Amino acid sequence: MGHGKLRKFAENETFSCLIQPDASSVLVKDGSKALVLRDHPIKGHWIGQVFSSPGPIVLELGCGKGDYTIALAERHPEMNFIGVDIKGARLWKGAKYATERGLKNVAFLRTRIEFIGAFFGPDEVSRIWLTFSDPQLKSENARLTSPLFLERYRAFLAPGGLVCLKTDSRFLYEYTQAVVRANSLPLLASSTDIYAPQAMTTPDRRSATPPSLTAGPLPLTRPRVATGPEWSQPEGPVTATTDWAEVTGVQTFYESMFLKMGLSITYMEFTLEHEGPFVHPTDFDSDYWRKAEGPRRTFSHNPTKL
């Protein structure tokens, strides 16, 4: 391990906005010696123990260096934002920035997202951002929009709370569309290219009238997806509840890089209003979309073949 990482890890210990629980604090062995998840003391107590403001809590899962979390927090001082990632060296940048600027509505949690249920209580979170998550091309249960993860989110997402997915991966976008259809989830916004010319026709897409369904990419309007016996598009325009400026005006480092490469950025937001367990989609052609994805761009900025 390089001296730079060691320095960051040491400095991380001084940041009050960065919570770094040991895995042993949330994983214990049951009577059969199997590891089970147990609640962390912070669960249900973020307001009061971490944040002094009673504003809504917004999560960014897989936040990396925390640039999106920070940008949203600076835009909305009346709300509280938590970036979650397992990489301490990445979280260092966001935690240091928040500390130096005295941002009281920002916190970071270093943990595996698989353990997220141990840290948040019922109705404690109002929105989840998934920004440029790994599409996990070969492992469905590892995708952050899989039924397995949606079950975890539902345990702490408040009624009507949003899941917002922003990604350069068409594979992950189409997979998530299929999950939404399979579970008849309310889809509030959907776009295969948020920076298409149509997307800039009005400053606030929340009240905009959607263009024709055959007129190219549909920025934050009616989703152009297939319908089935268990899922259909609602009548009238499908409108976004997220501020349009936050969708296009706040960019991560990798988003800026992908845009320079000429790649399309997709977006969708939906709620988890669903009775019973979440089911896996049966109409998603993973082989087709895996091939359509092409070489994946890695964090080393070099394409890799599947």
Say which amino acid occupies 186. Answer: P
Q: Taking Cα atoms as reference points, which of 30, 96, 90 lies closest to residue 64?
A: 90
Name the one residue in this structure whose structure tokens are 């934002």.
81
Each residue's pLDDT tens digit, 217-261: 333 333 333 333 333 333 333 344 667 777 888 888 888 888 888
pLDDT at 207 over 70: no
Q: Is 292 exposed, middle or buried (0-12, 13-18, 19+ CB in 10 A)?
A: exposed
State if pTM tops 0.95. Answer: no
Q: Of 134, 168, 285, 287, which one is the catalytic site residue?
A: 134
**Rounded CA gap, 87 and 101, in Å?**
22
202 dihedral zone (left: phi>0; alpha: psi -120 to 50; beta):
beta
Find the domain containing 245 and state its range.
Answer: 3-304
Structure tokens at 64: 């990396």
134 a catalytic residue: yes
Give me the number of domains the chain comprises: 1
Residue-wise pLDDT for 15-27, tens only, equals: 999 999 988 888 8
Q: What is the pLDDT of residues 57-84, one digit of tens each?
A: 999 999 999 999 999 999 999 999 999 9
Closest CA to 27 of 115, 108, 109: 115
CATH code of the domain in which 65 resides: 3.40.50.150
Reported as a single tens digit per residue, the pLDDT across 289-300 is: 999 887 655 544
Look up residue 75 and give its two tokens: 């835009």
